[in-house]
Structure 1
Amino acid sequence: MADKKKNPVTEGKKSFNWPDKIFGAAVLILSILVFLIIAYPLWFIIIASISNSNMVNLGKVTFMPKDIRFYGYQQIMDDARIWMGYANTILYVVAGTILNMAVTMPAAYALSRRNFKARNKVMFYFVFTMFFSGGLVPLYMTVSSLGLISTKTILIIFVAVNTYNLIIARTFIENSIPEDLYEAAVLDGCSHFNYFVKVVLPLSKAVISVLILYYAVFHWNDFFNALLFNSNAKNAPLQIILREILLLNQAFSSGVGGVQGGYAQGAADQVKYAVIIVSTLPILCVYPFIQKYFEKGVMIGAVKG
């Protein structure tokens, strides 16, 4: 029987596929490990927030909750201020993000135009603020002189534009939208405003989604500015109220001794875990809806400045 001729192309593919398969398996295993490293702490906080705090402290809670209790969430929800904090924070997130985008995108478009002769100088002023500032005391004095202390306005307009986000948006518009579109629009009699609204914004959905997420997370987590500029309890965001609830429980546990002190400390720990979940859950619920845009737009600006 005649020997079958070996196909060098097929043999080459087989020998070449093994390294690819090994590499793919290694990447898959590494990805799973990274996912577990990132996801487990969050999962532990979730199960610890509804487990008996004594079992958590003894290390008996690892993968599943034990002796389920909702004391931490009950302490948070029983505080009437929590809903006021949610309402204030949602207001700051929505209004602040709208203002951020209303400033960032037009500024990014203007700075992306190569025929704007002063764009490098203007960009320098923006970038300068990333590395240097007047300091905390002059900032507070400026806000105070404007009459914005303890008002909701300051928590909305503060950091109206983030320079890093501005650079991302400018780079996207400059590198991802062809100049030919602008030339064609000009031939049709389109103004800069119409071109920006009808062409640039629809083609910038990816970067807009990323910037909305960045700005929304900033406003949601904004704690220091509220602590610095606001002394009115009615304007307090969620983070400030959760902090006060947490400190109140910790102070109570510190003032109780003996066996009761141990129970009080355990209750304070459960409140601590519940505070983390309450403060992060809304953002975690929003993220999946813009994930497809986030994956596309998050690397924008990494190639050219």
Structure 2
Amino acid sequence: MSSAVKESRSDKLFLVCNYIYLTIALVIVLYPLLYIVSASISDPKYVSSGEMWLIPKGITFDGYARVFENANIWIGYKNTIIYTVVGTIVNLIVTLPAAYALSRSDFVGRGFFMALFLVTMFFGGGLVPSYLLVKDLGMVNSMWALILPGAASIWNIIVSRTFFQSTIPKELQEAAHIDGCTNFRLFIRIVLPLSMPIIAVMALFYGVGHWNSYFSAMIYLNDSAKYPLQLFLRQILVLQEMAAQGGGAIDASSATAMNTKAEIAALVKYAVIIVATVPVIAIYPFLQRYFVQGVMIGSVKG
């Protein structure tokens, strides 16, 4: 039997320092989230005065009521779910086969294609050429303008390629070919079932990107019925801020009214943040196991 390794004083000190550091990091990361949740259901006067700093005070759901009474929110949710699901599927269809092909040592010209991919990481055409291209392709004011221009991320292709190189044994591929398996069947029937960690990680990366995206919608969409959730939320925030900063003569009653509008605007702002982030937070725990495996891609060899 092997005896347990006795920790030295320096090891114990190192562990204590680690726990202290991790506790501080947890507080730094967790406090803003708890504060936003509490502020979104607290009376605005307590938030603006600083009396509410962690625990909700004067609980009210007026902020959420103002957000959800806007019919555009539900249109935005529907559009964003569609864009996120379809966009993520397109991203995976493009990224995974490209990464697997580049991971194969017998793929002729993979160095040349990899170099071409890398060039796009450092040089881009810019906004105006991109818009003209999308316009010439007839995709303006359509869902595809938000999906196809970003169908592949070179960084994600590199990460996926590293996963395939370090996880899928070359001997497995050779054995499949000896049994008469084609490259396409090998990828679909053998490689993909063994690649759930990278599939989950890529789906999470792309999905969060689509969910939070609003700039492309601002540029390419003209019909408000096609706006994603983030664009509607941005409009709500802008309108609330404009209402809170309304001009006019400043007397006592006007100042009180403007202060009330500013407090309501802040309340809506916190509610909007929660509405936009809860779906992603709710999905993450189901992908956490795969996400942790994906983060460790290429870190351990042997």
Pairwise CA RMSD: 1.7
CA apart distance, 1:203: 1.2
Partner residue, 1:97: 88
Extract unaligned runs of 5+ from structure 2.
248-253
Q: What does residue range 243-258 of structure 1 map to in structure 2 within 5 Å?
A: 243-255=234-246, 257-258=254-255
Larger Rg: 1
2:69 aligned partner: 78
What SS does the corresponding residue of 2:51 show, helix, strand or coil? coil
Identify the residue that residue 169 of structure 1 maps to in structure 2: 160
**Are 2:283 and 1:283 aligned?**
no
Cα separation, 1, equivalents of 2:296 and 2:5? 33
For 2:234, give the aligned amino acid.
Answer: R
**Change beyond 3 A, Cα 1:24–1:109:** same
Runs of 5+ unmatched residues, structure 1? 1-8
User: Could you tell me which residue of structure 2 aligns to residue 6 of structure 1?
Assistant: none
**Partner in structure 1 of residue 185 of structure 2:** 194
| Distance in 2, Cα, partners of 1:72 & 1:121 | 54
Residue 49 of structure 1 corresponds to which residue in structure 2?
40
CA spacing shift, 1:13–1:95, aligned 2, 3 Å: closer
Equivalent residue letter for 1:229: Y
Secondary structure of 1:158 counterpart? helix
Does 1:204 pair with 2:195? yes
Judge which range, 267-276 or 54-63, deviates more. 54-63
Aligned-pair CA distance for 1:83: 0.4
Question: Where does residue 271 of structure 2 map in the other structure?
Answer: 274
Equivalent residue runs for 1:1-305 within 5 Å: 13-14=5-6, 16-255=7-246, 257-301=254-298
Contact 1:50 1:65 (8 Å CA) reproduced: yes
Q: TM-score, normalised by structure 2?
A: 0.93
Displacement after TM superposition at 1:23 (Å): 2.3
**Identity within the alignment, %:** 44
Q: By how many angstroms is 1:127 displaced?
A: 1.2
> 1:301 offset after TM fit, Å?
4.8
Q: Distance in 2 between matches of 1:23 and 1:101?
A: 42
How far apart, CA to CA, are the structure 1 residues paired with 2:51 and 2:168? 56
Q: Distance between the aligned counterparts of 1:88 and 1:159, measured in 2? A: 18
Shift of 1:302: 6.0
Following the alignment from structure 1 to structure 2, what is the Cα–Cα distance between the partners of residues 49 and 100? 34
Q: How many residues align?
A: 294
Per-residue deviation at 1:13? 5.0
Contact in 2 for aligned 1:96/1:156 (Cα 8 Å): yes
Q: Give the alignment's TM-score, normalised by structure 1.
A: 0.92
Q: Matches of 1:113 and 1:56 in 2, distance apart?
A: 57
Structure 2 letter corresponding to 1:259 = T
